[in-house]
A and B are shown apart, each in its own frame.
Chain A
Amino acid sequence: MSPEFLVAVIITIVGAATPILLAALGELVAEKSGVLNLGVEGMMLIGAVTGFAVASTTGNPWLGVLAAAAAASMTSMIFGFLTLSLSANQVATGLALTIFGAGFSALAGKAFLGRTITPFVEVFPAELARHAIWRVVFGYSPLVYLSLIMVVLTAWFLKSTRAGLILRAVGENDHSAHSIGYSVIGVRYAAVAFGGAMAGVAGSCFSLVLTPMWAEGLTAGRGWIALALVVFSAWRPYRLLAGAYLFGAVMTLELHAKAAGGWFSVVPPEAWAALPYLATILVLVAISMRRSGGTSAPACLGKPFLPTA
C-alpha cells in the first residue's frame, strides 16, 4: 500500500467523520443538559440547504456556514419551544423535527438543484495543503479544523467552566438545580440552540465541502449515526472524536470496497452501504448490554421539567 493511497484513505475518513463529529458534539451538549433531540437529521438537512443557498447566492462559503448554523439553530428552537416551554414528548417532537427538516429542505432546495458554489480557500499555504503527503495534515477544509477545535472547547467547557458545571447539573438533577436557583429551562434552551447550530454546520459540511452541491436527503441518515455516537462515547467529547473517526472509517470502507473490486465484489454493494448503520446498531446493543452502561447517561435525559413550585 503506497503512502499516497494511505493519505487518500485518511482524507476520505476524516471527510466522512467531520459532519457526524460536529453534529454529535452539539447533541452531546444538548443531552448533557437533559434534552434528547432526535431531530439532528432534520436540522442537518436544513443547515445543508440553507448553507448551500446562501453560499451560492453570495459566493462566500463562510456566510453559508453561518447561515446554516443560524437556520438550524432557529429550527431547534421550534423543538425547544414544544418540549421545554410546552413540555411535549421529546422523542415524538424530535422525530417530527426530522420529518419537517427533510420536507422543508427538499422544498426550499428545489431552486438550487444543479447550482454550484465557490469552495473554501485552503487554510494553509498551497505547498503544504497540496503536498502529496503533508496534505494529510494541512489539506482539509476549514470545517475539519473547526470540528477539532470544537471538541477541545466543548470538553473544556463541560469540565472546567462554571457554565459547563451548571449545564451538567441541570441534566443530572433538574429539580435540585431549580431549587438552588438555576434556570433549568433557560439552560436547556441554550443547549438545544447550540446543538441546532452544530447540526447546521454539520449539514453545511455536506453541501459546501463533501459533495459540494444540493440534493434532496443529502445527509443520508448521518444524523442518526451522530445520535448513536453520543451514546457510544458515553457523553465524553474525546471519546466522541475517536468514535467519529471509527465510524468515518467504516463508512469509507464502502467506497474503497467498490473501487477495489476483486473479492470485495462478492458482497453486494448494498451490504457495504449498510455497514455504518449495522455498526451503529451493533455498538448500541453492545453498550446497552454492558451493565454499567446506563449510568453514564445524564440522569434527567429526555424527561420534561415541570417545576413543582
Chain B
Amino acid sequence: MDANLPLRLELTGITKQFPGVLANDHVSFSVRPGEIHALLGENGAGKSTLVKMIYGIMQPDAGEIRWDGQPVSIPNPKSARKLGIGMVFQHFSLFEALTVLENIALGMDAKIPSRLLEAKIREVMNQYGLKLDPHRVVSTLSVGERQRIEIVRALLLTPKLLIMDEPTSVLTPQEVDQLFIVLRKLAAEGCSILYISHKLHEIKALCDTATILRAGKVVDTCDPGIETSRSMAEKMIGGNLKDIVKQGGRSLGEPAFTISHLSLPAAGPFGTDLEDISFSVRKGEVFGIAGVAGNGQNELLLALDGEVASAPGAIAMDGHPVGQLHTSARRKRGLCAVPEERNGHAAVGDFTLSENTVLTARNRLGMVSAGLIKAGAARTFTGEVIAAFAVKALGPGATAGSLSGGNLQKYIMGREILQKPTVLVVNQPTWGVDAGAAAAIHQALVDLAASGSAIVVISQDLDELLSLCDTLAVINEGRLSARMNVGEVSVEEIGLLMGGVHGTPEETHIAPGGEHAVPA
C-alpha cells in the first residue's frame, strides 16, 4: 500500500448520544486505501451506530469525518454513495416481491435504462464470479444469493469503501470462502473494506487491522494477524472469556426424545416441506442441527414444540407419542422450546418480563391457580432468571420490547432453562448475542444436559454447534442427514451437506434433484 496516499476514511472524536445511552464516545480511527479493516465489538458496543453515521443514515453529534483527506459531512446515504461508500447490510434491505434487477435498480441513484443496467450487472457478476439471475423474484432466493444482490448493488457504484455488516452470519463455509475471494480481489484493486463481524477467526483470516469498540469507545486497534481470537474476544468484553466446561466422561442415557419419519407439508408458498425426518436424542445429549437458513429449521421447530401437529407417533418423549399434543400439553410433559424470532414469537414485546414468564412457565412452575395468576411467583422466578443470566433489564416489570436483542435472548433462554425441561429445543440460541453472553448461554445449555436433559440445538453457526454438541446432523431442503459424532466429522463435510442444493454458486441454477421454492 502506498503510504503517500491520503487516508481513505478518517474519523476523529465521533460522538453520538441517544436518550440514556452514549452510543459512540469520541471514536477515532482510520482506514487506508485498499485496507480490510475490521470493526469489532459486542452487541451495543456502538458498531452499527458508527457505520450508520459513515453511511449517512445518522448524523454524529460531534466529531469529524475526513474522506480522502478532506473533511466531509454525510447528510444522507445518497451523498455517502456519491463519495464512493457502499454498504451491505446485516439485515438485507431487499424487497421480497420484486426481482433482482428491480432491487438493484432501486439502489441506484442514477436513472439507468433496465437493459443497460442488466448488462452492467452481468459485467460485475462475471468480474467477481458472483452468480445470480437478474430476473428471479427475491423471495425465491437463498440467503447467500440475497447477499450477492446486496454486494452486486454496492459494487455497481464502484465504491472506494465497502461497509459489510456481519456478512457471514448466514452463509455456509463454502459461501464464506467465495465471499472472501471477492473481498480480497476488491481490496487488491484499492477498495477499502470496513468489515463488521463477531467471528474472530474470519477477522484473523481476512483483515489487515482491527478496531475494537467497547461501550461506545475505541479500546484498541490491533493487527488480527498477531492477536489470537481469544485475546481479541477478551478485549471486546473487557474481561476473561470463559470456556465451555464439559464434564468429562459423562454417559448418555436412554433416548428421551425420538422423531421418526416426520413429514409435514409447508404451511405457505415460501415455506419448506419437512420430509421423513428421523433422529433421537438421549438423556444428557446435546444434538445439533446445522443448516443454512430457510431449509426447514423454522418448520421443524414448530413441529417439535407443538405449534404444528404431526402424526401421533412421529414425535415421542420417553416412548410416549406426543405428535398430536399442543404446545401447553408438551410443556407439561417437560418439552420446552425457544423459537428463533425472539420478539413476537418467543416473547410478547408489549408484555412485561413477568407476564412473559407466565406465558410459558405457568404450568410447570405452578404460576396459575384457579384461573388466577400468581403474580408474586412469576415475579420471583423472573428475578431469578434476570440474576442468573445477567439480563440487563430494569427488573421483572420491564417490557420485553425494551430489552436489547441479546438481553432478551438471555432472558428467554434463562426462562426455559430454569424450568428444568426434560427436553429442550432451541433455534439459534445465540443469534445476534455478543461473545460474553453467548458463552454464558452455551455453558447453561451444557450444564442442563449434564443434569440429564435432552437438548436439540438448531443453529446456522457451525462453530457454535461444534463446540456445544455431542452429535449433529444437517438439514437441507427439509431433509435431515444422518447423525454424525462431533469430533469425527470435518467442517468441510458439514459444509458440503449444508450447501446441498442452495449453497455452492455453481449449482445454484442447475440444482440436481430439486428446485428452489417455486414462486407463487
Contact residues of A with B, CB < 8 Å? 162, 165-166, 168-169, 172-173, 175-177, 179-182, 291-292, 295, 298-299, 309
B window 284-301: CB within 8 A of A:
none
B269 neighbours in A (Cβ, 8 Å): 291-292, 295
The answer to whether B77 and A180 have CB atoms under 8 Å apart is yes
- Which of these, A177, A299, A309, contacts B97 with CB under 8 Å? A299
Q: Give the size range of B's interface with the partner.
A: 20 to 34
Distance (whole angstroms) from the CB of B113 to the closest CB of chain A: 10
The answer to whether A172 and B93 have CB atoms under 8 Å apart is no
Distance (whole angstroms) from the CB of A172 to the closest CB of chain B: 4
Distance (whole angstroms) from the CB of B290 to the closest CB of chain A: 29
The answer to whether B95 and A169 have CB atoms under 8 Å apart is yes
Q: Choose, from B27-35, B101-109, B241-249, the stretch at the interface.
A: B101-109
User: Provided the pairs A165-B105, A292-B520 are in contact, do residues A181 and B76 lie with their beta carbons within 8 angstroms?
Assistant: yes
The answer to whether B105 and A299 have CB atoms under 8 Å apart is no
The answer to whether B106 and A165 have CB atoms under 8 Å apart is yes
A181 to B106, CA, bound (A): 10
Q: Which of A173, A180, A182, A299 has the most CB of B within 10 A?
A: A180
Q: Is B398 an interface residue (CB 8 A)?
A: no
A299 neighbours in B (Cβ, 8 Å): 96-97
User: Provided the pairs A165-B102, A291-B268 are in contact, do residues A180 and B57 lie with their beta carbons within 8 angstroms?
Assistant: no
A166 to B98, CA, bound (A): 11
B window 357-373: CB within 8 A of A:
none
The answer to whether A176 and B94 have CB atoms under 8 Å apart is yes
Contact residues of B with A, CB < 8 Å? 52, 57-58, 76-78, 81, 89, 92-98, 102, 105-107, 109, 111, 268-270, 520
Can you name 12 A-B pairs with beta carbons within 8 Å?
Answer: A162-B105, A165-B106, A168-B98, A172-B98, A176-B92, A179-B89, A181-B78, A181-B81, A292-B520, A298-B97, A309-B52, A309-B57
The answer to whether B97 and A172 have CB atoms under 8 Å apart is yes
The answer to whether B96 and A173 have CB atoms under 8 Å apart is yes
B93 neighbours in A (Cβ, 8 Å): 173, 175-177, 179-180
A172 to B58, CA, bound (A): 23
The answer to whether B111 and A172 have CB atoms under 8 Å apart is no
The answer to whether A173 and B268 have CB atoms under 8 Å apart is no
Q: Which residue of A lies closest to B59 (CB)?
A: A309
Q: Which of B57, B95, B102, B269 has the most CB of A within 10 A?
A: B95
User: Provided the pairs A176-B94, A176-B95, A295-B269 are in contact, do residues A166 and B89 lie with their beta carbons within 8 angstroms?
Assistant: no
A180 neighbours in B (Cβ, 8 Å): 77, 93, 106-107
Further 9 A-B residue pairs, CB within 8 A, beyond A172-B96, A295-B520, A309-B58: A168-B95, A169-B102, A181-B77, A292-B520, A295-B270, A298-B97, A299-B96, A299-B97, A309-B52
B102 neighbours in A (Cβ, 8 Å): 165, 169
Q: Which residue of A lies closest to B95 (CB)?
A: A172
A223 to B50, CA, bound (A): 48
Distance (whole angstroms) from the CB of B495 to the closest CB of chain A: 30
Q: Which of A162, A166, A181 has the most CB of B within 10 A?
A: A181
- Which of these, B77, B106, B270, contacts A169 with CB under 8 Å? B106
The answer to whether B111 and A162 have CB atoms under 8 Å apart is yes
Q: Which residue of A lies closest to B56 (CB)?
A: A181
A168 to B99, CA, bound (A): 12
Q: Which residue of A lies closest to B80 (CB)?
A: A181
A244 to B107, CA, bound (A): 36
Q: Which residue of A lies closest to B105 (CB)?
A: A165
Q: Which residue of B lies closest to A166 (CB)?
A: B106
A168 to B97, CA, bound (A): 9
Distance (whole angstroms) from the CB of B2 to the closest CB of chain A: 33
Distance (whole angstroms) from the CB of A150 to the closest CB of chain B: 23
Distance (whole angstroms) from the CB of A203 to the closest CB of chain B: 32
A176 to B92, CA, bound (A): 8
Distance (whole angstroms) from the CB of A233 to the closest CB of chain B: 16
Distance (whole angstroms) from the CB of B154 to the closest CB of chain A: 11
Complex A-B, nearest 8 residue pairs according to Cβ-Cβ distance, in ascending order: A176-B93, A181-B77, A172-B95, A292-B520, A181-B78, A179-B93, A173-B95, A169-B95
Q: Which residue of B lies closest to A165 (CB)?
A: B102
A98 to B282, CA, bound (A): 62
Q: Which residue of A lies closest to B103 (CB)?
A: A169
A298 to B109, CA, bound (A): 24
A292 neighbours in B (Cβ, 8 Å): 269, 520
Q: Which residue of B lies closest to A176 (CB)?
A: B93
Q: Which residue of A lies closest to B97 (CB)?
A: A172
Distance (whole angstroms) from the CB of B435 to the closest CB of chain A: 25
- Which of these, B57, B81, B98, B111, contacts A179 with CB under 8 Å? B57
